[in-house]
Amino acid sequence: MKKNISLILGVALLILVLFLTFNILKNNNLKDELTSLKEEIKTLENENKGLRNLDKTSNDNTFEEDVKWFVSEVYGLEDRAELYDNISLSVTDDVIKDLFGNDVPPKKSETSEHSLERKLDNIEVYGKFKDDKNYIALATFDLTFEYRNEKDTSFTIVQVNLTKKEDKWLISNFEEYSNR
């Protein structure tokens, strides 16, 4: 009987040792897998952060190009009807009112002769996000007017605000600060 108890205890001890060994190996594998998953999470977070920065940079670049386009249209076009047609879908009603007053849409110019030649040079745009729905940019440029071989160049600073409305960015404010 002692032999049977010893045999039963031996088998139970063997089963217990095997069970503990199996659990320790399984636990080590789980720890390795957990470490691997944590590293993968860090990698994905870094990639995500990079993509957010890339997205913000591409928005900044798009906004910079949009501001350059808008300033070029406002200061470069003499025909107010053409200006209205070009910018009306990209600006808010307040900007339309500031630029055109109550004459909306403006009447097409009947003369095709230019009174002044206008040229914009050295356009630089400096902008930043105010929040996730507002972007503020300052644009600086040299504005040259030419009339009968007489030139006048002035350094100009304008502020252009863009606001996100219904998933579309619109120019919501336009102010000239300096024209010397």
pLDDT in tens, 86-113: 988 899 989 888 888 887 777 776 665 6
Q: How many domains does the chain have?
A: 1
Domain holding 90, by residue range, is 2-179
Q: How far apart, in Å, are the Cα atoms of 125 and each of 66, 115, 122, 137?
A: 10, 28, 10, 6
pTM of the entire predicted model: 0.63
In this predicted structure, what is the pLDDT of residue 122?
92
pLDDT in tens, 35-76: 887 887 877 777 666 656 545 555 555 889 999 999 999 988
CATH code for the domain in which residue 116 is found = 3.10.450
CA pair distance 77, 161, nearest whole angstrom: 21
